[in-house]
Amino acid sequence: MLNERACKEGGLARALDRFTDRLYRASSTAGMYDAALDAISEALDCTGTSILRPDPDGVMRIVAWRGLSDACRSAVDGYSPWLPDDQDAEPFFIEDIATEGVPPSLKDITLHEGLRSLAFIPVPLDDKIIGELIIGFERAHAFTEHELQVSTTITRQLGFCIGRRLADEAARWLGAVIESSDDAIFTKNLDGIITGWNPGAEALFGYTASEVIGKPGKILIPIDRDDEEPTIFKRILDGERIDHYETTRQRKDGSLVDISLSVSPIKDVDRVIIGISKIARDVTERRRLEEKQQLLFSEMEHRIKNLFAVASSIVNIGARSATSPDDLAAAVCGRLNALAGAHSLTLSFSSPRRSFENPGTTLHSLVRTILSPFTRGGSAEATFTISGPDVPVASHAVTPLALLLYEFATNAVKYGSLSAPGGHIDVDCRKGKDHYFLTWRESGGLPLSMPNGEGFGSKLARATAAQLGAELSRELSSGSLVIRLALPLDRLR
């Protein structure tokens, strides 16, 4: 009897050794399943066995089997004595299906199959159930301690190898995502040393992986932001995640780049933080667009205020010379129409159609169009004069130049020579070798003083002049404003 028991246990041990060898040499999950089923069949001399794994809904489904008919697999498929979130699940035994309380559908089919005893052994991984092993015998069977030990050893090793394969697959997927990501993804240890660097990081910062791995991460941080890294590490060690933190970093060539930074902890198997991972995205273009959008909003607000102020001035100008309500209405409507025409010149000519429709003009014509809404009594000579040589203005330069002149005119209407009767504007033009010089001189208006600060209109004029490559200056002479503009001729062509 002792020899028989020793031989049986020796056979179990040999089966377990062969299983371990096959399991670690298996090149696929199916190969691991086959190794486990063969080992159980050999070690326990069972009638039938199967392995079940959870589907996406958490229902246990048969993925591999031995000695079970289609009908029996159908009855067992989806059956589990444990709930999906059970931890530390224990093996479950039905020593005799004929006498124990078993669901009728399972009892009928298993008895018909010739099975009298079933064992359900959980496949564990990190205190979770990632599968189950079902073992069937044709006779009523009470599991011995040694049989239980062999079965649970097989399921534990199977669970470990399944987990390792899942982790390897996840690592490969993650590696492929990181390698193909356009975002800069890199890692650091707790000493701030760079330990990982993807192609996106190389593209963003200019360093190759070999140049930065093993180097302090501070090579990416501008001197004026040295305090950021310790703060980031402290927040991560305190259990925080950092999402979309906008900052500035330094490239290999010394240039700065605006980035959005997300930072996460890297933990070991014991959930201890051993480093951090960072994802950086270049937001330079987005910030540029946001600034441009804000500028456009400010410009729109400025223009609307100007239009209301200018419209009010047009009514006042018309009222001074009108002899009747009809005369006033005609004068105001005419000037408002002229104002609309002048304002349209300051709109964008960026589309091909607008550029084609507006092939260009001359500078004198542009000045006349801008100032025409503000003439007194229909006489341009009473309001402004233009002297000196004219020059063509190509379509690409019409918009910024019109915007600049329109800014001069609206300021003259609100504050300068066109804000009072008798005011006058002299526009003197002179052509040099490389530049066209325009002098805008106001006289006869209200006394002026230079503002203490720069308003949005002045900023807009300065930015527009810069767009034309022009030099712009203002000065007061005896209370009258003089504006000098030097325009490169090659920017007007």
* Radius of gyration from C-alpha coordinates of the chain: 42
Q: Which of 113, 105, 94 is nearest to 47 (CA)?
A: 113
Parts of the chain with a pLDDT under 70 = 1-13, 295-296, 299, 302-322, 327-328, 330-332, 334-360, 376-382, 445-457, 460, 479
Query: And the tokens for 428?
Result: 């003197």
pLDDT of residue 304: 67
Tens of pLDDT, residues 63-118: 999 988 888 888 888 888 888 777 778 998 888 888 877 777 777 788 888 888 88
- Return the closest-CA partner of residue 53 out of 22, 80, 71, 73: 80
- CA distances to 37, 131, 149 from 121, rounded to whole Å, are 13, 9, 11
**pLDDT for position 355:** 43
Q: Could you report the per-residue pLDDT of 425-468, keeping only the tens digit for each?
A: 999 999 999 999 999 998 876 665 555 556 656 776 777 788 78
- Diameter over CA atoms, the chain: 135
Q: What is the pLDDT of residue 460?
A: 67
Q: What is the pLDDT of residue 2?
A: 42
What residues does 187 pair with on adjacent strands?
A: 196, 277
Ramachandran category for residue 244: left, alpha or beta (phi over 0 → left; psi -120 to 50 → alpha): left
Burial of 271 (0-12, 13-18, 19+ CB in 10 A): exposed
8 A C-beta contact, residue 51 and residue 135:
no
Q: What element of type H or E holds 60? A: strand 60-66
Strand 184-189 with 128-137, pairing: unpaired
Other C-beta atoms closer than 10 Å to the C-beta of 196 total 18
Distance CA 457, CA 24 (A): 76
Query: According to the model, what pLDDT value does residue 380 have?
Result: 59
388: left (phi over 0), alpha (psi -120 to 50) or beta: left
